[in-house]
Amino acid sequence: MLTRPCTFILFILWITMAQIPGQENKEKTTALKDLLSRIDLDELMKKDEPPLNFPKTLEEFEYAFNEQGRLRHTTTGEAYAFNAREDLHRWNQKRYEALGEIITRYVYQLLETKCNLTKEIVPVDATAEEPRSFIYLSADAMSNPTKLLVLIQGCGVVRAGQWARRLIINQDLDSGTQIPFITRAQEEGYGVMVLNPNENHLEVERPAKPAPLPSPEASDEPAEKRERKDDRESKKKRDFYEKYRNPQKESETEQIPIRENGSPEEHVLYVWDHFVSKAAARNVFVVAHSYGGLSLVELMIQREAQVKNRVCAVAMTDSIHNVWHQDANKSIQEWLQQHCRNWVSSPEPLDTPVEPMLSDCPRVSAAGQENGPIH
């Protein structure tokens, strides 16, 4: 039995080859038609996707975090199952993404209730009409005179307060969120800033395209009859195509960038200029995961003197920065060598030196930790 993707590929091949003249291609087309005729379309029809309508809350999903911070089904007590429906990977993925959006809101709630952080809108002078993002600050983030901790996550779907969505869902909140770092820092007298480098745009639905105007060279056939005929043909082709390539058509969207925060690098630079550089703390410490390390190196390139004057130490975790590709000068490389450590996934015991890839930031073992900083 051929799967839906196979059917679609064969369909495209058939259409393409049917448009090419020549006896040899006609024979290939005939062979493909014969193969397609053997496919049990009725069986394929049974595997249509369910509607892409998913719950909006954890309660509706029938999941909750237990006392250990692990996500469990409220009835069975089992961990989250990605393959809720066999042979429907796209539907399962959309379901996972819907749960991920709920997790994002849940973590925001924890940052505000458990960690007592507050939102600060960026850009700071954003109007009510323009796209905006936010970061989280502790009450003393701007006023603490001694110590400030700045947390920078990696790239992707994770938002403020998260290191890795996969770890939150499949392991626990302590593994996948920044909450343990925040609470420990607050216990030790640090002000805290939680950046949000992946909230770079507002996504809005793209307006529908206007219907094409009729051709001036249209036939003498009555317009109403011609329109009905064209509609039937178009619908037939569209239904067949959508059925086997994209069973449920999703609305088209466009992205409106957030001013001065349109990329992770822009966001880190903006937060430095408008928050970190204006904070009272004499000593700034940074934890940067994955792409966050790259964004920090880019910040140093743009604000080298300021960073060197304020930042005491940087803990990177699986950072993907590259001083050569980013054109970091020698003085930056020397500063990274003295003030940074990059904990990387390794089978070696924790803190064991790992052979460096470049002569900038010493690398040490994170003892097998993946997709999130060590605790």
Q: Active-site residues: which are they?
A: 290
Cβ burial 224-237 (10 Å sphere, 16+ → b, else e):
eeeeeeeeeeeeee
- With residue 204 as reference, give the H or E element that holds it: strand 201-205
List 344's β-bridge partners, or say none: 365
* Torsion, Cα of 349, 352, 358, 361 (10° steps): 110
Q: What is the DSSP string of 306-349?
A: HHHHHEEEEEEES----TTTTT--HHHHHHHHHHEEEEE--SSP
Residue type, 104: T
Query: Nearest CA to 55 among 99, 100, 105?
Result: 99
CA-nearest of 129, 65, 153 to 103 is 65
Per-residue CA distances from 16 to 9, 28, 29, 161 (Å): 11, 11, 9, 49
Q: Cβ distance 352 to 364 under 8 Å? A: yes
